[in-house]
């Protein structure tokens, strides 16, 4: 583990899927980024599918957490899934989070369950809400412009392409006034092992 990690008391972490983002997604995110200040588009380099948000993890626990991720992905081969349709939580008419949906998601659901199972002995409580894989593309702070609703409607059933997943990453999320910055603590290549 690097000295950058060991010299800090805790890190804000999550486990997610890292993959090449299709051009169609990049173009939609750019449209969200060009809306007004009530909408904060996710930077393309931050786009991912979250398997489990861990919150603050003590630096001395990172190695055990990373080991649990390694166990969760052991024996899992690379797989594909489809990005289909845009929507919002909690509802399109009252959006807080804008997303692109995931289809053929069963491998992701199984991976998330495996991560969840292996994190519980380390003291991370299970999620209370059912796991719903998605790609967060923007967050909304207040009443957004009408164009946002139009973009969601126009893309509600759009196919954004197929994504190949060959790695699971333990990420650190660093927050500042511009939003989160993600860095990779460890990458676990599906079917191959891991590298730090």
| pLDDT at 166 exceeding the cut of 70 | yes
pLDDT tens digits for range 57-109: 999 999 999 999 999 999 999 999 999 999 999 999 999 999 999 999 999 99
Report which DSSP code applies to 182. E
Question: What is the reported pTM?
Answer: 0.90
Q: Which residues contact 135 (CB under 8 A, 6 or more apart)?
A: 25, 47, 48, 49, 83, 99, 100, 101, 102
| pLDDT at 196 exceeding the cut of 60 | no
**Based on C-alpha coordinates, what's the Rg of the chain?**
17
CATH 3.40.640.10 correct for 3-195: no
Question: What pLDDT is recorded for position 177?
Answer: 77
Q: How far apart are CA 67 and CA 61, in angstroms?
A: 10
Nearest to 116 by CA among 164, 51, 63, 175: 51
Q: How far apart are CA 169 and CA 18, in angstroms?
A: 7
pLDDT average, residue stretch 123-130: 92
Residue at token pair 């599918």 = 49
Question: What pLDDT is recorded for position 73?
Answer: 96
Residue 175 pLDDT class (50, 70, 90 cuts)? confident
pLDDT average, residue stretch 142-165: 96
When the pLDDT of each residue in the chain is averaged and rounded to a whole number, the result is 92
Question: What pLDDT is recorded for position 3?
Answer: 43
Report which DSSP code applies to 161. E
* 125 in Cβ contact with 119 (< 8 Å): no
| pLDDT at 124 exceeding the cut of 70 | yes
Q: Which range is least confidently modeled, 1-5, 67-71, 167-171?
A: 1-5
> Helices 62-73 & 106-119, crossing angle to 10 degrees?
140
Map residue 64 onto helix, strand or coil. helix
Question: What pLDDT is recorded for position 5?
Answer: 54
Q: What is the 3-state secondary structure (H, E, C) of 126-155?
A: CCCCCCCCEEEEEEECCCCCHHHHHHHHHC
Question: What pLDDT is recorded for position 183?
Answer: 95
* 21 in Cβ contact with 27 (< 8 Å): no
Q: How far apart are CA 173 and CA 181, in angstroms?
A: 6
List the structure tokens of 89: 């939580």
Q: Domain map of the chain by residue range?
A: 3-195
Residue 176 pLDDT class (50, 70, 90 cuts)? confident
pLDDT tens digits for range 13-48: 999 999 999 999 999 999 999 999 999 999 999 999
């Amino acid at each position: 583990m690097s000295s950058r990690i060991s010299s800090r008391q805790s890190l804000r972490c999550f486990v997610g899927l890292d993959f090449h983002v299709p051009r169609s997604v990049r173009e939609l995110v750019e449209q969200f980024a060009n809306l007004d200040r009530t909408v904060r588009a996710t930077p393309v380099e931050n786009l991912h599918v979250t398997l489990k948000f861990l919150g603050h993890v003590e630096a001395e626990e990172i190695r055990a957490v990373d080991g649990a991720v390694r166990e969760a992905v052991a024996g899992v081969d690379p797989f594909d899934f489809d990005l289909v349709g845009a929507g919002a939580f909690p509802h399109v008419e009252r959006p807080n989070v804008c997303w692109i949906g995931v289809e053929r998601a069963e491998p992701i659901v199984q991976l998330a369950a495996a991560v969840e199972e292996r994190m519980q002995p380390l003291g991370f409580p299970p999620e209370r809400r059912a796991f719903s894989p998605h790609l967060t593309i923007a967050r909304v702070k207040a009443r957004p412009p009408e164009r946002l609703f139009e973009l969601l409607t126009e893309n509600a059933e759009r196919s954004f392409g197929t994504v190949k997943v060959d790695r699971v990453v333990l990420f650190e999320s660093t927050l500042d006034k511009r939003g989160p910055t993600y860095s990779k603590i460890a990458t676990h290549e599906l079917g191959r092992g891991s590298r730090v």
